[in-house]
Amino acid sequence: MSVEDLVGLYLAERIAICEQFPVASVAALAEMLFDTYEAGGTVYAMANGGNSGTLDHAYCDFKHHPFVSEDKSRPLPRSVKRLSFVNLCGSPAELTGLVNDLGPDEMYVASLEPVVTRDDLVMAYSGSGNSPNVVRALEVAGQAGARTFAMTKGDGGRCRALADVCIVVPGSSRFPGQTGSNNNNFHFEDAMLSLNHILVGLLKQRVAERLARLPSGVASS
């Protein structure tokens, strides 16, 4: 195939995924996010490899974007509740220390288990759905009564049964670099970033609705 054909193939596959995307599951996840925000809970998120970098992007978006004015000129007043978001992949020092001391399978559990509560939302991203460190964290989150979400591909792996809501990115790919054991991996990572933006936009709308309900003097303080 020519370069142009391959580019077209990638985009056609992505369009097909968007057309099949489980919108109802995204809406269910958004409701869990809203419930966590309203309860004053914390969102804990985890992934491996390049996806952990996407979670750093998500951390920035969730922490700040819903809580600035529409023209981005100022933060919303302090009276507007903020969302607590923890990127469990965020500190190389912490992760390498935990891997060194406890092993890779326990790296997320060690950070999550002492603090997670039923008011929280635990979000796990694993292409296979079987990454041991992610699976173990979902198990611990479920035992604590926390809301749980997973995003996977293929058959969803073990994460599919462990998460309250699981989004399995549909389809299969013929594009170079995401065939065989990496099947659909680029599309999975694209969908992960799109999901982040959908959720952040929905949360921004929810925060704006909360702001509109505040007394005018409080909202402008």
Q: Which pTM value belongs to this model?
A: 0.93
**What CATH number is given to the structural domain containing 87?**
3.40.50.10490
What's the length of the chain? 221
209 or 6, greater pLDDT: 6
- Across the range 162-170, mean pLDDT stands at 97
Task: Give CA–CA dist 192/195, Å, rounded.
Answer: 5
- Model confidence at 210, pLDDT cuts 50, 70, 90, reads confident
Give residue 173's region: left, alpha or beta (phi > 0; psi -120 to 50). Answer: beta
Give the pLDDT confidence of 78-111 residue by residue, as tens digits: 889 999 999 999 999 999 999 999 999 999 999 9
- Lookup result for tokens 């609705």: 209
The chain-wide mean pLDDT, for the chain, equals 94
Task: Give CA–CA dist 31/136, Å, rounded.
Answer: 24
Count of structural domains within the chain: 1
213 or 94, greater pLDDT: 94
Report the percentage of the chain scoring pLDDT > 70. Answer: 97
Query: What range does the domain containing 106 cover?
Result: 3-219
